[in-house]
């Protein structure tokens, strides 16, 4: 055979696929079942692909290749999430338009992806920064506005002075910006937001019908943060009232004080009556400097102060209790006020100790002198109320209901569901994003551009840096002015966040050139939901939540055929440096450039190696030796299967069982993305083939078909050498003979007094007596003494006890 030359083979087949449009999908061909495999598309950064990209991308590639061979019409597209900060920073520092930079990067990425031999239909490529794409991002946003889900409201936002922009909560980590690590402060600003809480119930429900990692679903549930409780009104001595939200109404007799959010409206309304105004104002000022994150940190001291002269009245017993402010109470959650029950809430407990306030235990079951006896410890345990008048003696669960009913009758309480989920801030003071297609008229009202004026294209600027925290588009003095259709006004100058385009891009792949709709509805109906979505776990609550929200909105408006867009989701693990440290920006010395590996070993080797490293979902360290091992395996396959004399037309049965086992295991494992074990099974098969020295042609073809999903170039080449002149990509998937899988005989050990004395071969379903007879026959000369016990563990072992 010729020597395996990965370079020549890979170039040859990449050229073939391109020229033959092998992987172009006819989306209108509804004659076959469909399979939609989706990758999280990359941000086209200046540094190109990293070793982590090929991992997830190979995973979907194997699946889509298998599905194609199984007779599906497969859609496996690729594109670019091309708006964002790095291109913007490039524009700011060079003064060049970020699009040039972006297009260059897209070229590099596409070249690298093509080198890896993925079966993408490049004719469906999209880029979110392309006006023909963002036209529809703007259009959907306009729909959200018209339906009342996109709003322009005053919001406390995360403001990053250094980046000159507002950031979403998931872009802020420990009070610093995720990108760059700059300080972030809270600040009130008029903002475009999307009303996420309006979707909360639907999002929770939808989680039950999708095949996602349980941990990701749980993260989404926690992020949504549904909480069921009661809102109760408290009168203030001397007039006025405020409401609190509690999930523990059963503790209402244990209230010894109230706490208000320092930055909330209730305190403002009471300020006139507060005796220690200065102290209170000073504390409010301190609070405004802190982020919600700092404020809610559990193990910090519970600071705050009393509102002197203010007392609230407990509606169940008329008891007057002092009112405090404390920064652990957030203005933006519930009503911004809490009833404090130090015996049963640890934060209240610590606050009471710090401010020398008394406590009343109202749930029996544990001592509360050291710390609070909290709901997670008493709920569902049959604990009973004490010190609670007529409710004493009821269980917590009974009391919850009875107290709520009593307060409802008094007209001072309402059952209430709250969500941690806040509005999604949907604007950035940045240049390189989708312009929000609206105008502020002189009377302050908002005018959205008519559809004919979309896309609203980003204007070129002399200076891409915003001044004094203003949006860069403020520099576009002419563009900003709007005088059309009898409307005079000023355009919005903030742009949409990075997550806008990625919230619906997977729909556009289905119909990327449609100029009249974001995608044809009939096509969407056929192709959605996405059957398999693979991407990093870092998107668990950001992108994956946003995309579900946009889809759900479109679904509710008859514009998406499915409630949930991504049927099955899998997260690939991280590829670590050989020392176990995450590869990437921070540790450039550990970066493995996929292109270098492709050059030296070949794309097939890189793909095989990354899939063989370990289970897809776990993080794995890079290992150069194993890259060479992967190449050795490919070479072994090449050396055997390209030699015609090694292939036989008849089957002598030597490989029948192992071949059928291999087809079954590879098929099952591919289906569940267990690629490492599938590959190891193929290796076992190849070892057997080498032992036997010959391989029936039918088995050889089956192996090459399966292997071609992982190593498509060498797969095609061997297929051709075997005498075929069409691509292997549309060959039919190998099948297996289930009856060839089962062993009808088994070898078992025969022990005498615990020591193995013989092995016998028996029929798998042989009866005990027959087995014992064969065993004793085998022991004929070795057995001395009298048999006192005979044990047969079916299919496993015979044990004879003799004396
Ligand atoms: C009285 C009480 C007694 C509470 C008790 C708990 C235990 P989740 O599950 O997170 O919704 N709370 C309400 N609004 C708040 C705010 N704006 N900032 C900080 N804390 C707030 O928690 C609801 C509980 O958190 C509420 O129930 C309230 O304290 C507090 F033994 O009310 B609880």
Tens-place pLDDT, residues 339-392: 999 999 999 999 999 999 999 999 999 999 999 999 999 999 999 999 999 999
Is the pLDDT confidence value at 157 over 90? no
d(CA 252, CA 315): 9
Distance 246 CA to ligand 1 centre (A): 5
Distance 502 CA to ligand 1 centre (A): 35
Closest ligand 1 atom number to CA of residue 261? 17
Q: Hey, whose CA ends up nearest to atom 18 of ligand 1? A: 329
d(CA 498, CA 502): 8
Q: Which whole-number Å values give the CA distances from 689 to 120, 188, 664, 699, 702, in the listed order?
A: 33, 71, 17, 10, 13
d(CA 103, CA 74): 28
Distance 635 CA to ligand 1 centre (A): 64
In this structure, the answer to whether residues 729 and 764 fall within a common structural domain is: no
Using a pLDDT cut of 90, give the percent of the chain over it. 78
Mean pLDDT of the 628-636 span:
98
Taking each helix axis from N to C end, the angle separating 6-20 and 98-115, rounded to the nearest 10 degrees, works out to 110
Is the pLDDT confidence value at 52 over 90? no
In this structure, the answer to whether residues 708 and 750 fall within a common structural domain is: no
Count up the domains in the chain and report the number.
3
Helix or strand holding residue 187 (H, E): strand 185-194
Q: Hey, whose CA ends up nearest to atom 2 of ligand 1? A: 248
Q: Hey, whose CA ends up nearest to atom 8 of ligand 1? A: 227
In this structure, the answer to whether residues 759 and 685 fall within a common structural domain is: no
Sign of torsion over alpha carbons 769, 770, 775, 780? positive
Q: Hey, whose CA ends up nearest to atom 28 of ligand 1? A: 246
Q: Band of the pLDDT at 584, cuts 50, 70, 90? A: low
Distance 245 CA to ligand 1 centre (A): 7
Mean pLDDT of the 325-334 span:
93
Q: Which of 85-89, 133-137, 788-792 has the lowest mean pLDDT?
A: 85-89
Neighbours of 390 (CB within 10 A): 12
Q: Which of 225, 230, 248 to mutate to test the pocket of ligand 1 (most atoms within 8 A of CB)?
A: 248
Q: Which whole-number Å values give the CA distances from 588 to 65, 577, 625, in the listed order?
A: 34, 10, 21
* Residue 88 maps to a domain: no
Distance 341 CA to ligand 1 centre (A): 10
In this structure, the answer to whether residues 393 and 407 fall within a common structural domain is: yes
Is the pLDDT confidence value at 509 over 80? yes
Mean pLDDT of the 235-259 span:
97
- Cβ burial of 212 (10 Å; 0-12, 13-18, 19+) is buried
In this structure, the answer to whether residues 676 and 767 fall within a common structural domain is: no
Distance 311 CA to ligand 1 centre (A): 20
Neighbours of 75 (CB within 10 A): 26
- Cβ burial of 365 (10 Å; 0-12, 13-18, 19+) is middle
* Residue 314 maps to a domain: yes
The rounded Cα 100 to chain-centroid distance in angstroms is: 31
CATH number at residue 644: 1.10.730.10
Mean pLDDT of the 682-710 span:
98
Is the pLDDT confidence value at 585 over 60? no
Rg (C-alpha) for the chain, rounded Å, is: 34
* Residue 446 maps to a domain: no
Closest ligand 1 atom number to CA of residue 418? 11
**Residue finishing a domain among 378, 401, 419:** 419
Q: Hey, whose CA ends up nearest to atom 25 of ligand 1? A: 246
Beta strands in 274-346 (DSSP E): 305-313, 320-325, 337-340
Mean pLDDT of the 603-622 span:
96
Mean pLDDT of the 90-98 span:
89
Q: How many Cα atoms are found within 13 Å in the side-chain-facing hemisphere of 21?
A: 5
Distance 21 CA to ligand 1 centre (A): 60
Q: Hey, whose CA ends up nearest to atom 11 of ligand 1? A: 227
Q: Which residue from 682, 606, 628 is spatially nearest to 55, judged by alpha carbons?
A: 606
In which domain, by residue range, is 301 found? 226-419
* Residue 246 maps to a domain: yes
Distance 546 CA to ligand 1 centre (A): 27
Q: Which of 222, 245, 300 to mutate to test the pocket of ligand 1 (most atoms within 8 A of CB)?
A: 245
Distance 350 CA to ligand 1 centre (A): 14
Q: Which of 226, 247, 378 to mutate to test the pocket of ligand 1 (most atoms within 8 A of CB)?
A: 247
Closest ligand 1 atom number to CA of residue 372? 31
Q: Hey, whose CA ends up nearest to atom 7 of ligand 1? A: 345
Q: Band of the pLDDT at 767, cuts 50, 70, 90? A: confident
Mean pLDDT of the 196-210 span:
97
Q: Which residue has the higher pLDDT, 95 or 434?
A: 434
* Residue 664 maps to a domain: yes
pLDDT tens-digit map of 752-763: 988 999 998 887
pLDDT tens-digit map of 428-462: 889 999 999 999 999 999 999 999 999 999 999 98
**Between vectors from CA 544 to CA 615 and to CA 116, what angle results, nearest 5°?**
50
d(CA 374, CA 660): 58
Q: Hey, whose CA ends up nearest to atom 12 of ligand 1? A: 338
In this structure, the answer to whether residues 634 and 678 fall within a common structural domain is: yes
Q: Hey, whose CA ends up nearest to atom 19 of ligand 1? A: 329
Is the pLDDT confidence value at 589 over 70? no
pLDDT at 380: 94
Beta carbons of 27 and 510 less than 8 angstroms apart: yes
**Residue finishing a domain among 710, 740, 770:** 740
* 79, 80, 81, 83: CA torsion to nearest 10: -140
d(CA 569, CA 673): 11
**Between vectors from CA 339 to CA 336 and to CA 342, what angle results, nearest 5°?**
125
Average pLDDT, the chain: 93
In this structure, the answer to whether residues 782 and 660 fall within a common structural domain is: no
d(CA 34, CA 56): 21
Sequence-ordered alpha helix ranges (H) in 603-711: 603-612, 624-641, 656-671, 675-692, 697-710
CATH number at residue 263: 3.90.740.10
In DSSP terms, 166 is beta-bridged to: 159
d(CA 38, CA 49): 18
pLDDT at 577: 82
pLDDT at 469: 67
pLDDT at 588: 44
d(CA 67, CA 73): 8
Distance 333 CA to ligand 1 centre (A): 9
The rounded Cα 478 to chain-centroid distance in angstroms is: 42
Token digits for 683?
């290796």
In DSSP terms, 193 is beta-bridged to: 151, 425
In this structure, the answer to whether residues 785 and 650 fall within a common structural domain is: no
Distance 344 CA to ligand 1 centre (A): 11
In this structure, the answer to whether residues 752 and 693 fall within a common structural domain is: no
* Residue 483 maps to a domain: no
Is the pLDDT confidence value at 253 over 70? yes
d(CA 83, CA 564): 25
pLDDT at 761: 84
Token digits for 386?
């004490």
Sequence-ordered alpha helix ranges (H) in 321-361: 346-354
Q: Hey, whose CA ends up nearest to atom 31 of ligand 1? A: 344
* Residue 728 maps to a domain: yes
Q: Hey, whose CA ends up nearest to atom 10 of ligand 1? A: 227
Q: Which of 333, 373, 415 to mutate to test the pocket of ligand 1 (most atoms within 8 A of CB)?
A: 333
In this structure, the answer to whether residues 387 and 371 fall within a common structural domain is: yes
Is the pLDDT confidence value at 696 over 80? yes
Distance 338 CA to ligand 1 centre (A): 6
Mean pLDDT of the 688-702 span:
97
Distance 248 CA to ligand 1 centre (A): 8
Sequence-ordered alpha helix ranges (H) in 510-593: 521-527, 543-556
Distance 365 CA to ligand 1 centre (A): 21
Sequence-ordered alpha helix ranges (H) in 362-464: 375-378, 396-410
Q: Hey, whose CA ends up nearest to atom 29 of ligand 1? A: 246
Give the three-state DSSP class for 802: strand
pLDDT at 175: 76
Pairing of strands 487-491, 438-441: antiparallel
Mean pLDDT of the 140-150 span:
98
Q: Which whole-number Å values give the CA distances from 639 to 100, 178, 633, in the listed order?
A: 46, 50, 10
Beta carbons of 173 and 194 less than 8 angstroms apart: no
- The pocket around ligand 1, CB under 6 angstroms, is made up of 227, 245-248, 251, 261, 328-330, 333-334, 336, 338-339, 341, 344-345, 375, 418
* Residue 683 maps to a domain: yes
Q: Which of 254, 296, 315, 338 to mutate to test the pocket of ligand 1 (most atoms within 8 A of CB)?
A: 338
Is the pLDDT confidence value at 586 over 50? no
Helix or strand holding residue 51 (H, E): none
Residues 661-687: b if buried by 16+ CB within 10 A, e if exposed = bbbbbbbebbeebbbbebbebbbebbe
Q: Hey, whose CA ends up nearest to atom 27 of ligand 1? A: 246
In this structure, the answer to whether residues 280 and 388 fall within a common structural domain is: yes
Distance 247 CA to ligand 1 centre (A): 6
Q: Band of the pLDDT at 764, cuts 50, 70, 90? A: confident
In this structure, the answer to whether residues 795 and 682 fall within a common structural domain is: no
CATH number at residue 794: 3.10.20.590
Q: Which of 572-586, 598-612, 775-789 has the lowest mean pLDDT?
A: 572-586
Neighbours of 592 (CB within 10 A): 18
Q: Which residue from 165, 144, 148, 166 is spatially nearest to 157, judged by alpha carbons?
A: 166
Distance 413 CA to ligand 1 centre (A): 16
Distance 437 CA to ligand 1 centre (A): 40
**DSSP letters of 401-421?**
HHHHHHHHHHT-EEEEEEES-
- Cβ burial of 431 (10 Å; 0-12, 13-18, 19+) is buried
**Residue finishing a domain among 722, 740, 758:** 740
């Amino acid at each position: 055979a010729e020597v395996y030359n990965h370079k020549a083979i890979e170039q040859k087949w990449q050229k073939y696929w391109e020229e033959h449009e092998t992987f172009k999908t006819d989306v209108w061909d509804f004659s076959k079942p469909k399979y939609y495999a989706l990758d999280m598309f990359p941000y086209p950064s200046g540094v190109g692909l990293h070793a982590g990209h090929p991992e997830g991308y190979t995973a979907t590639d194997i699946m889509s290749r298998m599905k194609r061979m199984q007779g599906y019409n497969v859609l496996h597209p690729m594109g670019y999430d091309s708006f964002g900060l790095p291109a913007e920073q490039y524009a700011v520092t060079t003064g060049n338009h970020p699009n040039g930079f972006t297009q260059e990067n897209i070229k590099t990425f596409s070249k690298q992806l093509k080198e890896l031999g993925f079966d993408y239909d490049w004719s469906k490529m999209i880029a979110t920064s392309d006006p023909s794409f963002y036209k529809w991002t703007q259009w959907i946003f306009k729909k959200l506005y018209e339906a009342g889900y996109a709003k322009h409201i005053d919001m406390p936002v995360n403001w990053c002075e250094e980046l000159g922009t507002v950031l979403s909560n998931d872009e802020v980590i420990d009070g610093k910006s995720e990108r760059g690590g700059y300080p972030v402060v809270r600040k009130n600003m008029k903002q475009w937001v999307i009303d996420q809480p309006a979707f909360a119930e639907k999002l929770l429900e939808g989680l039950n019908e999708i095949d996602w990692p349980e941990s990701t679903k749980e993260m989404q549930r926690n992020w949504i943060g549904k909480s069921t409780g009661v809102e109760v009104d408290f009168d203030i001595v001397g007039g006025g009232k405020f409401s609190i939200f509690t999930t523990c109404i059963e503790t209402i007799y244990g209230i010894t004080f109230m706490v208000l959010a320092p930055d909330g409206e209730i305190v403002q309304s009471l300020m006139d009556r507060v005796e220690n105004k200065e102290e209170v104002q000073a504390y409010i000022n301190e609070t405004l400097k802190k982020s919600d994150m700092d404020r809610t940190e559990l193990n910090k001291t519970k600071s705050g102060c009393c509102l002197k002269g203010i007392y609230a009245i407990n509606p169940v017993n008329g008891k007057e209790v002092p009112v405090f402010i404390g920064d652990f109470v957030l203005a933006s959650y519930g009503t911004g006020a809490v009833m404090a029950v130090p015996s049963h809430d640890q934060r209240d407990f610590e606050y009471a100790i710090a401010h020398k306030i008394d406590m009343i235990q109202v749930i029996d079951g544990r001592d509360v002198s050291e710390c609070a006896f909290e709901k997670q410890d008493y709920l569902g345990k049959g604990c009973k109320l004490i010190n609670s008048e007529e409710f004493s003696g009821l269980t917590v669960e009974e009391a919850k209901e009875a107290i709520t009913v009593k307060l409802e009758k008094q007209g001072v309480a309402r059952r209430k569901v709250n969500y941690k989920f806040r509005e999604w801030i949907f604007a950035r003071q940045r240049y390189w994003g989708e312009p929000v297609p609206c105008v502020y008229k002189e009377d302050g009202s908002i005018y959205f551009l008519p559809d004919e004026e979309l896309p609203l294209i980003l204007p070129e600027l002399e200076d891409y840096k915003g001044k004094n925290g203003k949006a860069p588009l403020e520099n576009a003095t002419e563009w900003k002015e709007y005088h059309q259709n009898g409307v005079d006004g000023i355009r919005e100058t903030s742009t949409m966040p990075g997550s806008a385009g990625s919230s619906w891009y997977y729909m556009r792949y289905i119909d990327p050139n449609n100029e009249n709709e974001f995608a044809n509805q009939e096509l969407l109906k056929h192709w959605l939901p996405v059957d398999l979505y693979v991407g990093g776990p870092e998107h668990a609550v950001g992108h994956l939540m946003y995309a579900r929200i946009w889809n759900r909105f479109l679904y509710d408006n008859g514009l998406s055929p499915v409630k949930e867009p991504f049927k099955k989701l899998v997260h690939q693990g991280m590829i670590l440096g050989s020392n176990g440290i995450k590869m990437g920006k921070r540790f450039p010395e550990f970066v493995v450039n996929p292109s270098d590996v492709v050059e030296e070993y070949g794309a097939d080797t890189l793909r095989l190696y990354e899939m063989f490293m370990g289970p897809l979902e776990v993080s794995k360290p890079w290992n150069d030796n194993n890259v060479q091992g992967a190449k050795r395996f490919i070479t072994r396959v090449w050396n055997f299967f390209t030699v015609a004399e090694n292939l036989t037309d008849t089957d002598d049965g030597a490989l029948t069982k192992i071949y059928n086992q291999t087809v079954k295991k590879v098929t099952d494992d591919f289906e569940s993305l267990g690629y490492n074990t599938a590959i190891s099974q193929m290796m076992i098969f190849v070892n057997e083939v080498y032992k036997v020295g010959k391989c029936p042609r039918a088995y050889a073809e089956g192996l090459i078909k399966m292997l071609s999903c992982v190593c498509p170039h060498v797969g095609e080449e061997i297929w051709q050498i075997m005498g075929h002149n069409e691509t292997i990509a549309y060959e039919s998937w190998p099948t297996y003979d289930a009856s060839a899988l089962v062993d009808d005989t088994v070898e078992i050990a025969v022990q005498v007094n615990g020591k193995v004395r013989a092995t016998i071969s028996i029929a798998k379903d042989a009866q005990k007596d027959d087995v014992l007879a064969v065993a004793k026959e085998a022991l004929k000369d070795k057995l001395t003494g009298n048999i006192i016990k005979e044990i047969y563990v079916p299919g496993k072992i015979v044990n004879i006890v003799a004396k």
